[in-house]
Copies of this chain bind each other. A is one copy, B any other.
Amino acid sequence: MNIEMIRAAAGRLHGAVRETPLLSSPALDAIAGRRVLVKPECLQHTGSFKFRGGWSAVSALPPEALERGVIAYSSGNHAQGVALAAQRHGAPAVIVMPSDAPAVKIANTRALGAEVVLYDRAGEDRDAIGAAIASERGLTLIRPFDEPLVIAGQGTTGLEIARQAAATGVTRAEVLVPCGGGGLSAGIALACEAEAPGLRVRPAEPEGFDDAARSLAKGSIQRNTRLSGSLCDAIVTPQPGNLTFPILARLAGPGLVVSEEAALHAMAMAFAHLRIVVEPGGAVALAAALFHPDRIAGDTVIAVCSGGNVDAGVFARALSMLEDA
């Protein structure tokens, strides 16, 4: 896993991926007490950065593998990313999703032409289910984060951040990244190491699901005790990946941990001041930037909003935190 793989992924993604802008607002700067730059990957195709990794992996497959198809297991955003990438390549896609994933994610994945197989997040092993179907049908399994081609795709977010930050005159900043298995954090960290060494990645997680923060603090992979029950479903994984953790341990941290309440509040601030829709898991980095300024260094912070696929009911809860609700 190295920067050349990220650059190669950027070449394959060119013209297919949307280059998301860097947003900002005087109101957010005032709340955080420093300049806040937001990378809104919720505006990416399928509503999250996962399209980058999906496209990176699918576009690297040989024709015969594309014809047989791909399979992915995902709480939703990776599902949609892989489904759209497969559809655009004319490849069949099977997506194994937890039965408690947001309805909008399941519906959107089916709308992208994928076959959805549901499983029980608490009682069944998605890896085993995915592997069985893959072997039966000859499908290529596209892992959500512990896969070099996927990390490379997510890393293209970091190439954009490095270029856009430099264009804004920012060469030193902490880059807060919502972290599940660590693919996006690791990819951005590798990209910044090569292109913008003054930018340091800090993974952000919700309370109770802070495996990356604890792993970084301890220096070895730690597991979450719970695997479901978070509003931040998009970034709940059992533990950091075997490929991603060593990258994070070398280049990123310490981790930042925020409450679900803070994530909802950050969604409300993104609604009011950036006019973007962010999902709870995608808002944890912005929450850390806005509501935990004492844990962050420097006069500028960059927060990645990693996704925007959220049920209307959950979004309404976030809106209810605003004065004019």
Contact = CB atoms under 8 A, between A and B. Distances in A.
Contacts of A103: 323-324
A93 to B, nearest CB: 14
A27 interface: yes
A84 B277 contact: no
Interface in A274-325: 274-278, 308-309, 311-313, 315-316, 319-320, 322-325
Contact of A102 (B108, B111, B271, B324): B324
Contact of A111 (B26, B43, B274, B308): B26
Interface string A15-34: 00011110100110010000
A71 interface: no
Given A42-B275, A311-B324, A313-B325, 12 more contacts: A18-B23, A26-B112, A30-B111, A43-B274, A104-B272, A268-B312, A271-B277, A271-B315, A272-B312, A275-B309, A312-B322, A316-B325
B47 A275 contact: yes
Copies in the complex: 2
Interface of A: 18-21, 23, 26-27, 30, 42-43, 47, 84, 102-104, 108, 111-112, 268, 271-272, 274-278, 308-309, 311-313, 315-316, 319-320, 322-325
A247 to B, nearest CB: 28
A322 B104 CA distance: 10
Nearest to A41: B275
Contacts of A108: 27
A324 B97 CA distance: 18
Contacts of A278: 275
A18 B167 CA distance: 13
Contacts of A309: 275
B319 A312 contact: yes
Nearest to A43: B275
Contacts of A42: 275
A26 B46 CA distance: 9
Nearest to A22: B18
B312 A325 contact: yes
Contacts of A102: 324
A304 to B, nearest CB: 14
A316 B23 CA distance: 24
A43 B23 contact: yes
Contacts of A311: 324-325
29 contacts: A18-B21, A18-B23, A20-B21, A21-B21, A23-B43, A26-B111, A26-B112, A42-B275, A43-B43, A43-B275, A43-B276, A102-B324, A103-B324, A268-B312, A271-B277, A271-B312, A272-B312, A275-B277, A275-B278, A275-B308, A276-B276, A311-B324, A311-B325, A312-B320, A312-B324, A312-B325, A313-B324, A316-B316, A316-B325
